[in-house]
Amino acid sequence: MAIYAFWNNKGGVGKSYLTFQIASEYARIHPDRKVLIVDLCPQANASGMLLGGMSTGEAALDSLSSRTPRQTISGYIEDRITSPYVNPYTGANFVINVSEYNSYSPENLSLVCGDEQLEVQASRVRGATVPGRTDAWRIVHTWITDLIEDVQNSWDQENTTVFIDCNPSFSIYTELAMSASDRLIIPFSADGSSKRAVRAVLALLYGITRVPGSLQSEFYTNSLQFRLPIPKIYCYIGNRLTQYIKSAKAFRSVVNEIGNEIWAVWKTNPNVFHIHPAGAASPVGRSAFIDMFQFEIVDANTASVVSSSLGIPINRLQAGLYPVVGRSVMVNQSQLDNQQPNIKELVAAIE
Ligand SMILES: Nc1ncnc2c1ncn2[C@@H]1O[C@H](COP(=O)(O)OP(=O)(O)OP(=O)(O)O)[C@@H](O)[C@H]1O
Ligand SMILES: [Mg+2]
């Protein structure tokens, strides 16, 4: 079972959009597998898109979070706050089948919804990591692993792939997502502050700091101390590549600069990367490294607005006019021709 987390320590880079597109496409091309999305972001943007977008998806989220217990990630977290160190094995109660809410979704796609209440629960989750018992931190950091195992056991199926959408902040629920996942996908946008955000990811997760003697994150030191796994970098994605030649060049230079930064990490810490596909040789040289780890996704313009507002995965979207909050929005074939093969190529690289 592979567990992918989409995370960057920066907002608005496409974590939720790519979770929606990639998980939907992955489920579509692997009808024999069960695909689970865990939305560990209080904004629940990926859940909103998956459940049908701006109006339908939001209404579904409201209804799921008004059940008792809430049929969302917060319902599960509440169970764990009540029983922090003894697994209640209730994870499967909080899963929904996405196709029951959104007819555009493949039937093998399931979801544990995000919930704004996560934010309110965070301080109690953090509180549960504090000893009391010496391994409190470790046990709390396996809550999401337990949740995924519960779901997997309820399905009784080996072939499961999990995608976790994260909040940009390195909050306690992001830490739980990191401890539960084994592969990290880092989307970034090509602007000036992206390099700093990627450096923050490297420092917070892997203790790779640029200034010797810098303070290490508690997550890093405790993960080592308690021998909890830290996800390995699966790929980094320059998202929203624009088609205009001049800005495309500027975009590429930012992507390449971040690529250089990550390539430097590869040379000193290849153990923090996940070699793929399975059985592939370790890349030798920069261009082989880029072929394995670097991806670009174009900006889909209004096609992405329609796709996310109506919850129609981009690879099921067709050219035409669509109603989006009372207005007609046009999706051109050229926008689809740009992003559809792009998403397919990325998903083909995801095992
Ligand atoms: N490739 C793309 N083409 C067009 N629009 C995109 C693309 N990727 C993301 N977007 C849009 O960019 C905006 C930000 O994306 P998204 O919400 O996925 O970012 P995020 O990293 O999840 O943000 P947050 O940190 O707030 O959770 C959204 O409106 C999304 O639809
Ligand atoms: Mg998001």
Q: What is the pLDDT of residue 337?
A: 93
The secondary structure of residue 70, as a DSSP letter, is -
What is the Å distance from ligand 2's center to 161 Cα? Answer: 20
- How far apart are alpha carbons 62 and 136 in whole angstroms? 33
Write the residue with the smallest CA distance to atom 16 of ligand 1.
Answer: 14
Q: What is the pLDDT of residue 243?
A: 73
Write the residue with the smallest CA distance to atom 9 of ligand 1.
Answer: 14
For residue 241, the ligand 1 atom closest to its alpha carbon is: 1
- How far apart are alpha carbons 131 and 167 in whole angstroms? 26
Structural tokens at position 178: 């990191």
What is the Å distance from ligand 2's center to 15 Cα? Answer: 5
Domains and CATH numbers, the chain: 2-348 (3.40.50.300)
Mutate which of 17, 297, 343 to test ligand 1's pocket (most atoms within 8 Å of Cβ)? Answer: 17
Helix/strand number for the chain, H first, E second:
14, 10
Helix axis angle for 194-206 and 218-225, nearest 10°, is 30
Structural tokens at position 4: 């992918």
Q: What is the pLDDT of residue 281?
A: 96
Closest C-alpha to 287, from 268, 261, 260, 253: 260
Mutate which of 304, 307, 312 to test ligand 1's pocket (most atoms within 8 Å of Cβ)? Answer: 304
Q: What is the pLDDT of residue 211?
A: 87
Q: What is the pLDDT of residue 213?
A: 87
Q: What is the pLDDT of residue 79?
A: 98
- How far apart are alpha carbons 7 and 169 in whole angstroms? 9
The residue written with tokens 């923050």 in the block is: 200
**Cross-strand pairs, 188:** 238
What is the Å distance from ligand 1's center to 292 Cα? Answer: 24
Structural tokens at position 350: 């995801």
CB-CB contact of 55 with 141 (8 Å): no
Amino acid at 336: L
Q: What is the pLDDT of residue 51?
A: 98
- How far apart are alpha carbons 148 and 331 in whole angstroms? 37
User: Other CB atoms closer than 10 Å to residue 330's CB: what's the count?
Assistant: 12
- What is the secondary structure of 131-162 as a DSSP string? SSSTTHHHHHTTHHHHHHHHHHHHHT-S-EEE
For residue 166, the ligand 1 atom closest to its alpha carbon is: 27
Closest C-alpha to 50, from 25, 80, 81: 25
For residue 11, the ligand 1 atom closest to its alpha carbon is: 25
Q: What is the pLDDT of residue 245?
A: 76
CB-CB contact of 96 with 113 (8 Å): yes
Q: What is the pLDDT of residue 50?
A: 98
For residue 307, the ligand 1 atom closest to its alpha carbon is: 31
Q: What is the pLDDT of residue 57?
A: 97
What stretches of 226-275 show up as alpha helix (H) in DSSP? 245-268
CB-CB contact of 16 with 165 (8 Å): yes
What is the Å distance from ligand 2's center to 53 Cα? Answer: 14
The H or E element that residue 18 is part of is helix 15-29
- Ligand minimally distant from the alpha carbon of residue 47: 2
- How far apart are alpha carbons 307 and 129 in whole angstroms? 39
pLDDT in 10s for each residue of the chain, 351 residues: 999 999 999 999 999 999 999 999 999 999 999 999 999 999 999 999 999 999 999 999 999 999 999 999 999 999 999 999 999 999 999 999 999 999 999 999 999 999 999 999 999 999 999 988 889 999 999 999 999 999 999 998 778 999 999 999 999 999 999 999 999 999 999 887 889 999 999 999 999 998 888 999 999 999 999 999 999 999 999 999 887 777 888 888 889 999 999 999 999 999 999 999 999 999 999 999 999 999 999 999 999 999 999 999 999 999 999 999 899 999 999 999 989 999 999 999 999
For residue 229, whether the previous peptide bond is cis, meaning omega lies within 30 degrees of 0, is: no
The H or E element that residue 287 is part of is helix 286-293
Residues near ion ligand 2 (CB < 5 Å) are 15-16, 45
Question: Using one digit for the tens of pLDDT, what is the confidence trace for 150-176?
Answer: 999 999 877 899 999 999 999 999 999
What's the pTM value of the predicted model, to 2 decimals? 0.98
